[in-house]
Structure 1
Amino acid sequence: MAEPGVDKKKRVVVIGGGVAGSLLCKTLQKHRHFDFTLIDSKEYFEVTWARLRSMVEPSFAKRSVINHHEYLQGASIITSDANGIEDNEVSTTEGRLISYDYLVIATGHMGSKCVTKPEKLREYEADNEKIKSSESILIIGGGPTGVELAAEIAVDFPTKKVKLVHKGSRLLEFIDEKGSKKVLDWLTLKKVEVILGQSVDLTSSSDDGTYKTSEGETIMADCYFKCTSDPIGSSWLKETSLKDSLNDSGRLMVDANFRVKGFENIFAIGDITDVAELKQGYLAQKHALVVAKNLELLINGSDGGNMVKYTPGSPTAIVSLGRREALLQVWCVTSIGRVPGMLKSKDLFVGKTRKQLGLKP
């Protein structure tokens, strides 16, 4: 029971402990006016753009996979999937009901089934063993994940035969054609075979490592990695009071303050939003900081008129190409090689991200 004359802390529930949700929770923890709960399907936060490095160097994941309790000491953390939102309450698959004054949804994309950090580290060990024991490797998908994995393997295991198959007409279709061509040339120089305009039918694979493409081409590989986009983590919302706030792509429609369409006390941040910009980690972190500020304003008595508005990020992209090189595109200017690699490729911003969470780099 609150003491006389002392306002009761407002209850904030954050669903999703990814790039956006983790930073939001860390920021909320600094403010004494909030009583927050994090609901996440896993016990850890992962620096997602470091995943490909962890596959070729599993020890790298010891810094990039972080238990929520490491950076949110003493916080209320529930390891479960959320499965309902009604009447200012969130329900979980384990049968709990958590009340809120403000709700923030940050479920991003569906990802790994691993629940604990040890499980995730073992998954990277298994991926690494698969790479090391294979002479030929098939990568399906030519977006940033597929390109970065192909580059990591080509740099760390230069004798491996790597084939990358992409259904699009060019790699990294979110950047301009010049940048795509530069990356294609870089991979070709590293002896990565790139097949464009085709997909792979995984149901046609056989025990001898034979795969068929959509054009009937046969590919031989000892193993494969599927690097296409994961589904948006919003399917569960279709059965909640937020079902009418989803657009045709399954993203939550938000205003400039990140409030979900039709609700005054529900926010959404990160990849699950319909904000018209590239879905990138550093932009999701900006979403988190805007919502943290807006929650503070509301809890301090604002009527919402002075809330911070978000301006979509400029079209900037940086794609790591192994340990030392990268492609950087800012507006229409594209650069590739060691200079942009100095910005990202060595540590993949892991130290910076850990520092944001109050941890040693």
Structure 2
Amino acid sequence: MGFGRRTTVVVGGSFAGRRVASLLATGDPCLHEVVLVEEKGYTEFTPSILRTLVEPGHPVWEPIQATGIPVKVVTGRAAGASLCKDGQHQGQLALADGRTLPYHFLVIATGSSYLWPIKAGSGDEVKLSTRKEAVSKAAEELRSAGSIAVVGGGPVGVELAAELAGKFGRSKNIVLLTNGSRLLQRMPQKAGYTASRWLRLAGVEVLHGAKVVQWPEGSRQRLCSGTLITQSGREISADLTIDCTGVKLNTELYTSLVEDREGGPEAAAEASRQGIPVKPTLEVVGCPGVFACGDAAGVAAERTAYTADLMAVVVAKNIALLVSRKDSKDAQKKLKEFPGGALSNAWLGQGLQEAPSIAAISLYKYDGIMQFNNLIITGPLAAGTKVMVEFFQLGIARGNTILSKLWLTLEAMNTVMAALPLVLWHKWTELKAFVQAYEAF
């Protein structure tokens, strides 16, 4: 592959994909072309879709052409990719309409799918007019329902139950079921306690250890009525049941790269469960020139917008390095690793062994839960943080360069503040182990 103008194709225009494209677009366009492929043709701020389900006028969409990213935007669905070299490019991306896009570097940022209409589906379902109509229809169904069963005690289930209770009060019979011993099990205990207390005070019945073994037909694909049966035998009938038990990772593009190889079908099946296998540099294992980030990537970190941003920074840095270096072997040695590679400070970056945990969960409009590693902050400050993130993200999507630069600064500060205690703790445990080994010697 000669050292000429390189082309990077980024598939997926949500948090990770848009961030990679915007960071790479700051380079010399004469040396590097950046193409962003997005099926929807618009940006959706997914964390706020739950608010839109109870208040349909709440804005969460912006046309992707107005994102302010100086890249070539292609609206279309990625149908498959190949690594076959044509002498000029590393491989080709095939779109569903028959178009092909050659690339030197491919970024898979295809994210994840969720119960419709919490996340858009595919095909006609992703059209903006169809998407808005579906959300409005779902909002009307929620408004009309007298009883609602929400299944899943993670962030989505908790937020949705809180939005429903906050909007409609005790006029509806709302039940939240989780098969765990508490809500928000992947967050510190205080978060689960706060969520349970808030929901119960708002009139929501919270059932722990309530594993659903029988679902109403079709309820795992759409909102529908019916009766849930738990493992204990309890029957819960509701006008609407909503499955918030987890996401489906969108790894089909990776499947197209490996399905014809020996062991490819097994690797593809594993990726659909655990995420696309990646090296610490976020290069896809066995696929030169291909990177993965966001929900679709198989990394040991929570799948949050913040984590997606960190991965995007690492991917962008590594592709920029590969583009700028004539000696690819030399460049490979200097690639950044996730998560430390997202930091500008070398000492912090080298010492960071795990991604910081930063997340915000709304408990309707004026309350919330914010996680900063093991620190849990509750109340209006947490709710305000979620509102601020939405304000920044939608502003950035509209092409506001001031908000974009300010966001990068704030995110960098937060990352350093979150990373510092993790690094210091890691260094302390290393020192303690060294002292113990020395004393034993």
Answer whether TM exceeds 0.5 for this pair.
yes
Residues 251-289 of structure 1: per-residue CA shift (max 9 Å, x gap): 122223221123441111111222211111012012112
The DSSP-based 3-state class of the residue aligned with 1:59 is coil
Displacement of 1:349 after TM fit?
A: 1.5
Moved more, 157-166 or 348-357: 348-357
**Within 2, Cα distance between the matches of 1:83 and 1:41?**
13
Which residue is equivalent to 2:24?
28
* CA–CA separation in structure 1 for the residues paired with 2:146 and 2:218: 17
Match of 2:392 in 1: 352
Work out which of the residue numbers 315, 338, 352 in structure 2 matches 1:310.
Answer: 338
Q: Which residue of structure 2 aligns with residue 152 of structure 1?
A: 163
Following the alignment from structure 2 to structure 1, what is the Cα–Cα distance between the partners of residues 225 and 92?
52
* Counterpart in the other structure of 1:4: none
One-letter amino acid of the counterpart of residue 105, structure 2: Y
Whether 2:17 is the aligned partner of 1:14: answer no
Per the TM alignment, residue 74 of structure 1 is displaced from its structure 2 partner at its CA by 6.8
**Could you say if the C-alpha distance between residues 70 and 89 of structure 1 is closer, same or farther in structure 2, counting changes exceeding 3 Å?**
same
Structure-2 residue corresponding to 1:104: 107
Matched to 1:84, the amino acid is: A
Letter in 2 for 1:26: S
What is the aligned partner in structure 1 of residue 135 from structure 2? 124
- Compare 289-298 and 152-161 and name the one that shifted more: 289-298
1:348 CA drift (Å): 5.8
Paired position in structure 2 for 1:323? 365
Tell me the amino acid that sits aligned with residue 18 of structure 2: S
Provide Cα deviations, 1:76-107, integer angstroms capped at 9, x if missing partner: 31311322333111223322222101111111
2:81 aligns with one of 68, 84, 100 = 84
Please, which of 321, 324, 331 is the counterpart of residue 300 of structure 1? 324
**Structure 1 residues 185, 76: closer, same or farther in 2, change over 3 A?**
closer
How big is the shift at 1:236?
Answer: 4.7
Are 2:72 and 1:75 aligned? Answer: yes
Deviation at 1:45, TM superposition (A): 2.2
Counting only pairs closer than 5 Å after superposition, residues 201-280 of structure 1 correspond to structure 2 as 201-203=214-216, 209-241=226-258, 243=264, 247=270, 249-280=273-304
Checking the alignment, whether the CA contact within 8 Å between 2:22 and 2:70 is kept in structure 1 is: no
Retained in 1: the 8 A contact 2:225–2:241? no
Instruction: Give the distance between the partners of 1:78 and 1:295, measured in 2 at CA.
Output: 23
* Maintained 8 Å contact 2:64/2:397: no
CA contact 1:204–1:211 (8 Å) conserved in 2: no
1:181 to partner: Cα distance: 1.9
Q: Is the 8 A contact 1:171 1:184 kept in 2?
A: yes
Give the match for residue 340 of structure 1: 382
Deviation at 1:146, TM superposition (A): 0.6
Residues 263 and 35 (structure 1), Cα distance of their counterparts in 2 relative to 1, 3 Å cut: same
- CA–CA distance in structure 2, aligned partners of residues 38 and 109 of structure 1: 18
The reply to whether residue 186 of structure 1 matches residue 198 of structure 2 is yes
In structure 2, what is the Cα distance between the partners aligned to 1:105 and 1:91? Answer: 13
TM-score by length of 1: 0.88
Given the two structures, how large is their TM-score scaled by the length of structure 2? 0.73
Q: Give the CA RMSD over aligned residues.
A: 2.6
Secondary structure at the counterpart of residue 179 of structure 1: helix
Contact 1:235 1:250 survives alignment (8 Å): no
Work out the CA distance in 2 between the residues paired with 1:236 and 1:262: 14
Structure 1 gap segments, 5+ residues each: 1-6
CA distance in 2, matches of 1:208, 1:260: 42
Inter-CA distance 208–296: structure 2 relative to 1 (3 Å threshold): closer
Provide the secondary structure at the position in 1 that maps to 2:241.
strand
The yes-or-no answer on 1:139 pairing with 2:150 is yes
Alignment match, 2:97:
94
Q: Give the partner amino acid of 2:315.
A: V
For residues 260 and 96 of structure 1, the distance between their equivalents in structure 2, rounded to whole angstroms, comes to 24
Shift of 1:154: 0.9
**Which secondary structure does the structure 2 equivalent of 1:319 belong to?**
strand
Would you say the 8 A contact 1:66–1:117 is kept in 2? no
Within 1, Cα distance between the matches of 2:77 and 2:83?
Answer: 17
**Please, which runs of 5 or more residues in structure 2 have no aligned partner?**
85-90, 115-119, 340-353, 404-441
Between the aligned partners of 1:27 and 1:34, the Cα distance in structure 2 is 12
Structure with the largest fraction of helix: 2
Distance 1:285 1:70 in 2: 20
1:215 and 1:288 mapped to 2: Cα distance?
A: 44
Deviation, 1:10, is: 1.0
Higher mean displacement: 225-234 or 29-38: 29-38
Task: From 305, 316, 329, give the equivalent of 1:281.
Answer: 305
What is the distance in 2 between the residues matched to 1:84 and 1:336?
45
Distance 2:381 2:111 in 1: 31
